[in-house]
Amino acid sequence: MVLVQGPILSKSSKKLSKKKLVIIGSFILSTNFVLFVSHDVVLLYAAAILFAVSNGLMWPSVLSILSKCAGNDPQDAVQGIASSFGILASIIGLISGGILYEFFEESMFLIGAGIIFLAFIMSFKILKLEYS
């Protein structure tokens, strides 16, 4: 994540808009979850790397878009609330994911991939988003 949010995100941000980074990150994340079903160690390491890449590209870009949409005054509040909800979603997601994994086992990753792929499709709507 340090490498991704440092030099990789810096170079990517110069070539691609934040909106496109969100779209690319969500696509990589959905693809990544399919790899988690594998029992091949190399694919699992690849999935872990892709997980870091997708989150490293996507999350800072989402926060940047949110702060630009908020305008100048409430930027700190918007970023703080977004970070808080992100942390809450991580906690709830990890707990519920662990419980659901007990029932669905590896297929839970495919269900997650499907949900994230839907988010990827919906993320194209941000291309129409305009902010100051």
Which pLDDT does position 54 carry in this prediction? 93
Across the chain, which distance is largest between two alpha carbons, in Å? 50
Determine what percent of the chain is predicted with pLDDT higher than 90.
64
The confidence band for 132, taking pLDDT boundaries of 50, 70 and 90, is: low
User: At CA 70, angle to CA 91 and CA 89, rounded to 5?
Assistant: 10
- pLDDT score of 4: 82
Nearest 5°: CA angle at 112, between 51 and 102? 105
CA atoms within 13 A on the CB side of 90: 8
End-to-end CA gap in the chain: 29
> What is the per-residue pLDDT for 47?
94
Tokens of residue 106, six digits: 């590896």
E strand or H helix at 89: helix 75-104
Among 20, 31, 6, 100, residue whose Cα is nearest residue 61? 20
> Which residues, including other chains, have CB under 8 Å from residue 51's CB and lie 6 or more apart?
29, 32
What residues does each domain of the chain span? 2-126
Q: Which of the two residues, 8 and 25, has the higher pLDDT score? A: 25
Summarised one tens digit per residue, pLDDT across range 29-69 is 999 999 999 999 999 999 999 999 999 999 889 988 888 88
